[in-house]
Structure 1
Amino acid sequence: MLSGTSLYQKRTVFTVIECVLIIGLALVPLFTTFPYRVNIFLSWEGAYRMSIGQMPYKDFGTPLGYGFWLIPSLFFRIFGPQLISLVKAQVFINIMAGFAFRSILKSLNIEPAIRALSVMVFVLSYSFFNFWPWYNHTVIVYELVGLAFLFQYINRPVQKLRFLYLLLAALFTFLSIFTKQDGGGLALLLCLALLLYNSIHEKRWWEIPVFLGFYFLVAAIIIGPLLPHGFGYWYNHGQPPHNSRLAVTDFAEEILGGSQWIKFYLVLMVLCLVPALRNFKAFWENKTAMLFTLLTLGILAEAALFQVTSYTPPDNNIFFHSFAFAFLCTHFAGMQHIDLGRRNAFLSSALLVLLWWSGVFWKYIDRIFQRIFPAPTEMVQGAPDPNAENVVSRRNFMLNTDTTRDVPTSEWIFTDLPGFKKIYMPPSTVHGMERLLAMPVVKEKKDSIKVLNMTELTPLAYAMPFKLETGEDYPLWYHLGVGMFNRQLAAFKEKVQQHHYDIILYEYAPGLNNFFPFALRPELKQHYKQVDEFLAPRRPTNAIIEVYVKP
């Protein structure tokens, strides 16, 4: 049996391991450079507008709340509106997420060794590869912080300060829904489910009303000033012209036709709970076990629904792995009487976790591996040597018939333009931006130039610079049916017909459904003069940016 001092030292070691994992891996992006990230234009522009004092819904419309841009806009104020400042913001978000997850497990009295292993799974599976802020990630981070404060409230003895944790839980749960409605709504339901059990267990009926009171108070304070500025039109709560994204067929197809990991974890959880369910009354009275079970089941249910409502990118919902791992590891270690706190047991388990999630860091190791063990050269039909055998393998059994000239990232280059520091892009993009900034109309009009930038190169507003348009009916981004609607499209058509802008940049991405509204392009061809075009900074490089000026 361990003495008090030895137990304290062991706990301290695992705390250090957790902190090193959370902070150390989060800091990695600060020491590297990045290719231009698809869709990062939206993160940049929202953060930039808020950092220069623009007010959401008054100065620009968005179907989301502005919770997503709070941290990036703060980092723009501190470090300047550089794309790399978004990476720094995500470092902070990843650290916040890691410690929130750790706090939840600590509140559930998870053994330090299992907690450290679970933190490793969380960091590898959910945080490490998230170098850029994105709302489908931030919504979950706010939820985790809210849950961490909620468990602090549940575990605290009755005292006045205890309600501060409930208020903070309500605040961050609201920030979650004010970042993305689907994830935030599911976060609210999960909090209410946990509070419902705690209220019944502790015989305190007032907990849910107090929590909801705090929640709606925060909502009123934040939403109240926005109501006169078209908030009801812009904010997507399923009303026209928005799409609610709730289709029973989609949920059934995704959950029953896929979701293998989620269903696998659910089966294992049921097997683990069979002994406890035989004496359900005793299980119900075990508050920590019940809360842990409800939390894990709730996270799995949320992940199953979230993958349908937030379908791109396809790995939005993988936050569930770490919760399921913590639950299953706790039960299996107890059943098998394994002390994972012992050095050899912990190191072996950590190596297994690293093997499990090797795909996260393999792409970095692969660059070195390819030099040591280069792939064999394979001959294909039509090779220069007519006597060579045609070899078909896993590397070449599919023939690429795409005629698009893709520019691999190994050929991308950097630019000195403000806002793009440490970010590399296709040479065509860099040279196209340089030609744009050298245009006579840009040099002559300077700050008074009127620009419509319907491209992913939103930092041009800072690099040129030009003043961004504002207005209650002006969209933050131009994805027709998502970020803007027919009313805004009609307004842009009218402005084009009236030659309102000096320069219009339009990104033509034929493979993306109205990512930038197709209907505007014929108007540009008719009423403006195209003077240049260059590649958009996408992977693959299958979109072009067209430059138009007044005729």
Structure 2
Amino acid sequence: MEAVLKYFDKKVSRRQIDVLTVAFIIVMSFFPSFINIPYNINIFLAWEGAYRIYLGQMPSIDFYLPMGFIFWLLPAFFFKIFGPGLHTLIIFQSFVNLITYLAFRKILVLLKVERTVVFLSLLVLGISYVLLNFWPWYNNFVFVLQLISIVFFLKYRQADTKAFRFLYLFLTALFSVLAFFTKQDSGAFTIMLNVALVVLTSLKSKSFQQILIFILALIFFSLPLIVPFLSHDFQYWFNLGQKPHYSRLNLFDYLHVLLGSLDWVKLYAIAIFISLIVKFQNFNQLFSNEREYLFLFIVLGILVQASVIQVTSYIPHYNTYYLHAFSFAYIISSITGLQNKLAKAKVFLFMSALVMFLWSADLWKYSLKFARKLMPTAFFEAPQNVVSVNTWLKSDETQFDKKTNWRLSDLEGFRHIYLPEETIAGMDKIVKEYEGVENLKVLNMSELTPLAATIGYTPMVNQPLWYHKNVSIFEREIEVLCNRIKDHEYDLVLFEKIPILNNFYPQEIYDCLLENYKMKDEFRAPRREPDATVCVFEKE
């Protein structure tokens, strides 16, 4: 026992930290690729865009979307390697998560953060954010591009030669533009943050040509993503708040979210402010150290961004949880003397345990199913005829189920994915009837878009990528689709009804279908809400 205690009194070596970091990053990045995962809402959209590009269709020309198409390019490439299945998206996201960890770690290393703090910050990032992102989504992908842009900015500031400085500055601009053409809100913050960093460092060095070069680089990289599509209604589709879009820039919404929630943001801001008071006598002392003011500026930029994105990109609710890792890294790095103590094995392990305890909710949720299998007598729910913390309120299973009747499907495109039994049965009927039918014309307004690969039909062109009313489809497109329905252009139409959502799929199209097509079947949609259904329509 004494030998064990002596071991924990030793310092953690740099090599041990590096080995632990590599192991953590690899395991946390890739383990979702080796397990079966339940279907998740909105994943149909990631699949549909990637599949269309995989088939050779051109975004903004063959199909339309209210944003850039950068997010879908890499999944389409992964489809070429692993096949166009939903599980391929899990593999792709494992790659994205790996880049997330590496880029975040590189930022902290370039900011000269101690390796123990770097690992603890990676632990925070993994548990609070990356662990939740096992499905790909553009709100996550844009953040990864932002991380890469910050890495290149910091490399630009530390480059030894003029050639490398310009190279890294151009790469900062490139990934800023790619972020904007992935998702406008987070992408705009990426551009604004990097412009602010370039301006700030230029003012400090009294060299202003970098500002002009950076702005010109932003314009240069933006033009190829705009000019070729101007003749294809780019001004109409790309959402900059113009009609028929809604910008979501509403002062009341921001104040409501800021003052009514965002407790973590406010707590971190206060902690950072206190650390500045303790650490620096005045602003001159702060701005005399480039590492200090760049670190501060990046973290504050991330906090402001996370606050605004909660309003403009409110789904999923955890898409800004990256703020925890940045704030944690800055605050822990600001505590004088803590880094030396963290070098001791016992302090390092204790801090790691505290981090996992603080963000234990999702760890517990994922580990509970395994705990119940290992110790079934210890982990069981109280019966409904007693009053306990889990039974005092009646469970409303009419709104959300517990996925107890979800199982794996054998259908191509849906393998390794859990779905409701009723959904699988409904899809089996469709596949049995339509698989192999040549020149099948399908309007798929449901979350079952991978049926295109399963049945073998090609998604039709000159249509929106998805059909969220007043987000990606508007009155003009609704009228066009209704006219096509009246002309019986489609052999098969799938329409999903989701009562809990506000007119997600346009009711007008459903009404057109009822008037002009025959509803052949209706079965449960791949969602937790049992009353969400997919209606199957065919020609009269």
Normalised by the length of structure 2, the TM-score is 0.94
For 2:382 and 2:359, locate their aligned partners in 1 and report how far apart those are by CA, in whole Å: 29
3-state SS of paired residue (2:341): coil
Match of 2:247 among 225, 244, 259: 244
Matched, 1:430 2:430: no
RMSD: 1.9
Matched, 1:184 2:187: yes
What amino acid maps onto 2:369 in structure 1?
A: R
For 1:208 and 1:314, locate their aligned partners in 2 and report how far apart those are by CA, in whole Å: 35
| 8 Å contact kept, 2:146–2:190 | yes
| C-alpha displacement of 1:363 | 1.5
| C-alpha displacement of 1:296 | 1.0
* Cross-structure match for 2:32: 29
For 1:84 and 1:240, locate their aligned partners in 2 and report how far apart those are by CA, in whole Å: 37
| C-alpha displacement of 1:532 | 1.1
The 3 A distance-change label for structure 1 pair 355 and 379 is: closer
What amino acid maps onto 1:342 in structure 2?
A: K
Q: Deviations over 1:135-187 (max 9, x none)?
A: 11111111011111111111112321222111111111111111110011011
For 1:265 and 1:71, locate their aligned partners in 2 and report how far apart those are by CA, in whole Å: 35
3-state SS of paired residue (1:188): helix
| C-alpha displacement of 1:335 | 5.0
Matches within 5 A, 1:208-287: 208-287=211-290
| 8 Å contact kept, 2:382–2:391 | no
Identity %: 38
Matched, 1:475 2:470: no
Matched, 1:454 2:449: no
For 2:86 and 2:114, locate their aligned partners in 1 and report how far apart those are by CA, in whole Å: 40
Matched, 1:53 2:44: no
For 2:12 and 2:339, locate their aligned partners in 1 and report how far apart those are by CA, in whole Å: 22
| C-alpha displacement of 1:196 | 1.7
| C-alpha displacement of 1:9 | 9.3
| C-alpha displacement of 1:294 | 0.8
For 2:48 and 2:122, locate their aligned partners in 1 and report how far apart those are by CA, in whole Å: 33
Match of 1:145 among 131, 135, 148: 148
Structure 1 alignment gaps of length 5 or more: 1-7, 381-390
What amino acid maps onto 1:459 in structure 2?
A: P
* Cross-structure match for 2:6: none
What amino acid maps onto 2:348 in structure 1?
A: F
The 3 A distance-change label for structure 1 pair 369 and 437 is: closer
What amino acid maps onto 1:149 in structure 2?
A: F
Matched, 1:418 2:423: no
Match of 2:161 among 139, 143, 158: 158
| C-alpha displacement of 1:431 | 1.3
* Cross-structure match for 1:495: 484
* Cross-structure match for 1:395: 390
Normalised by the length of structure 1, the TM-score is 0.92
For 1:401 and 1:118, locate their aligned partners in 2 and report how far apart those are by CA, in whole Å: 38
For 2:47 and 2:339, locate their aligned partners in 1 and report how far apart those are by CA, in whole Å: 51
3-state SS of paired residue (2:129): helix
| 8 Å contact kept, 1:510–1:543 | yes
Match of 2:350 among 345, 348, 356: 348
* Cross-structure match for 1:529: 518
Match of 1:357 among 351, 356, 359: 359
For 1:265 and 1:116, locate their aligned partners in 2 and report how far apart those are by CA, in whole Å: 20
3-state SS of paired residue (2:240): coil
What amino acid maps onto 1:454 in structure 2?
A: M
For 2:226 and 2:383, locate their aligned partners in 1 and report how far apart those are by CA, in whole Å: 62
3-state SS of paired residue (1:161): helix
3-state SS of paired residue (2:56): coil
The 3 A distance-change label for structure 1 pair 280 and 376 is: closer
| C-alpha displacement of 1:377 | 3.7
124-133 vs 480-489, which moves further: 124-133
* Cross-structure match for 1:485: 474
Matches within 5 A, 1:22-101: 22-101=25-104
For 1:289 and 1:213, locate their aligned partners in 2 and report how far apart those are by CA, in whole Å: 28
Matched, 1:373 2:378: yes
Matched, 1:114 2:117: yes
For 1:414 and 1:379, locate their aligned partners in 2 and report how far apart those are by CA, in whole Å: 29
| 8 Å contact kept, 1:447–1:467 | no
Match of 1:466 among 453, 457, 460: 457
Q: How many residue pairs end up in the alignment?
A: 528
| C-alpha displacement of 1:401 | 5.4
Matches within 5 A, 1:501-516: 501-516=490-505
For 1:120 and 1:454, locate their aligned partners in 2 and report how far apart those are by CA, in whole Å: 40
| 8 Å contact kept, 1:112–1:341 | no
* Cross-structure match for 1:297: 300
| C-alpha displacement of 1:400 | 3.9
| 8 Å contact kept, 1:36–1:425 | yes
9-18 vs 291-300, which moves further: 9-18
3-state SS of paired residue (2:404): helix
